[in-house]
Amino acid sequence: EKLPGHLRETIQRRTEVLGPGYMLMYKEPVEFVSGHGAHLVDRDGNDYLDAYNNVPCVGHAHPHVVKAVSCQLAAVNTNTRYAQQPLVDYAERLLATFPDELSKLSLACSGSEANDLAMRVARFHTGGEGIIVTRWAYHGITREVSSFSPSLGKGSPLGPNVRLIDPPDPRLVAPGSTLADHMRHQVRGAIDDLERHGYRLAALVTDSAYSSDGIFTDPVGYMTGVVEEVHAAGGVYIADEVQAGFARLGDSMWGFRRQGVLPDIVTLGKPMGNGVPLSGVVFRPEVSDEFGRNVRYFNTFAGSSIPVAAGAAVLDVLEEEDVQQRVLENGKALRAGLEAITQQSPYVAEVRGTGLYYAVEIVQDRESLEPDRTRAEDLINDMRGRRVLISASGKGANVLKIRPPLAFSESDVTRFLETFAEVAEVRL
């Protein structure tokens, strides 16, 4: 056992009080006591490179966010039943980053709550119940949202009103067809099947980065026909930007923009408050106003002064530090490095991704493309052994998921690639 005594003891006590549902990452788990930028520091002062956590988007313990939240905490925290100017300022600023049609904001505390509200509004507006998601999607933890989160597995059954489609993986397209036709055809089929079972469509929900499906960011342009089908069936399109949003994909603040389509509802979370619980739902008013007039939605903590202070500070940093540009530049270097390191490997099917979100698909061989979960796990644990943090995604848990804080710098890219090259030398 290499684990330091204090860590072993914490893990033992943890199991006692938290039970078996609480998993830890890595064969050799780790505990952090501080962080800065894309770096985390353990109790013994060792520096780790964080290439996995998207919540601290502008960096761990960013001083501007710390100051804004601390000042607000020391002043007052009130809820949305009081007229709060900072909340209005924040809502205006955030909405200004969306197309004009998406002009109403509701606040919540987690991505799950955002998707739960989005689906309530979608059901209310359309009068339908049918839901379409991708085959291995994750959208959250509430009863409703887990019923359309197939990645939760067998213990968490899908609703009878839920239909699954493939993520936009060009390798699944039949010869002679196109990705756009493939996606449209699947959505059409799902709508027909729902209707045969007595369900009218409420919504298609897609994660704009297809994170748990294994990360599929390109090619773009296949969504136009999909959204046409959804609208023709009376449903709405919900873009889940909990992972893709806030400049993660580099060329836009919002992942759906890359597709050139307009969602009816957009859900936001994770990086929105840089770690302070803050999430949101953005609506086209035609979709949400009737709900707002008829249903009382008051969420105690959502939109209160402290999370709003965090959210506004995140927007400040995104603007002032020109984060998007950095994401583009460092992302390009990261991707080029990943491709160079893996291109000869018989165990790497593909490098996918854009901005600061990358997938390296680990397979048994390039012909069968069978997932190799064990090799992926070994790679992840080898990286962790060298103090670089990543994890996995996809149905086969075989897709390395590289998703650092957006504060990832040029030297972080260099350190990441040097470490990855060492590990690949042995495993790939």
Does 269 bind ligand PMP (CB under 6 A)? Our answer is yes
| Least spacing, CB of residue 149 vs ligand PMP, in Å | 8
3-state secondary structure 362-376: EECCCCCCCECHHHH
**Which residue lies nearer to ligand PMP by CB, 253 or 413?**
253
| Least spacing, CB of residue 232 vs ligand PMP, in Å | 26
Site for ligand PMP in 118-147 (CB under 6 A): 138-141
**H or E element, residue 117:** helix 111-126
**Which residue lies nearer to ligand PMP by CB, 54 or 330?**
54
**Which residue lies nearer to ligand PMP by CB, 211 or 419?**
211
Does 304 bind ligand PMP (CB under 6 A)? Our answer is no
CB atoms near residue 10 (< 10 Å): 14
CA–CA dist 406, 355 (Å, integer): 9
Site for ligand PMP in 240-259 (CB under 6 A): 240, 242-243
Closest C-alpha to 417, from 364, 350, 342, 363: 342
| Least spacing, CB of residue 329 vs ligand PMP, in Å | 25
CA–CA dist 332, 250 (Å, integer): 10
Site for ligand PMP in 187-216 (CB under 6 A): 207, 211
CB 363 within 8 A of CB 398: yes
CA–CA dist 417, 410 (Å, integer): 11
Choices 13-21, 38-46, 235-243, 298-306 (CB under 6 A): range interacting with ligand PMP = 235-243
Closest C-alpha to 355, from 222, 192, 243, 187: 243
Report which residue's Cβ sits closest to ligand PMP.
111
Does 393 bind ligand PMP (CB under 6 A)? Our answer is no
Alpha helices in 271-370 (DSSP H): 285-294, 305-320, 323-342
The residue written with tokens 């990286």 in the block is 383
The residue written with tokens 């770690």 in the block is 275
**Which residue lies nearer to ligand PMP by CB, 243 or 342?**
243
Does 110 bind ligand PMP (CB under 6 A)? Our answer is yes
**H or E element, residue 177:** none
Does 111 bind ligand PMP (CB under 6 A)? Our answer is yes
| Least spacing, CB of residue 46 vs ligand PMP, in Å | 27
Binding site for ligand PMP (CB under 6 A): 110-112, 115, 138-141, 207, 211, 240, 242-243, 269-270
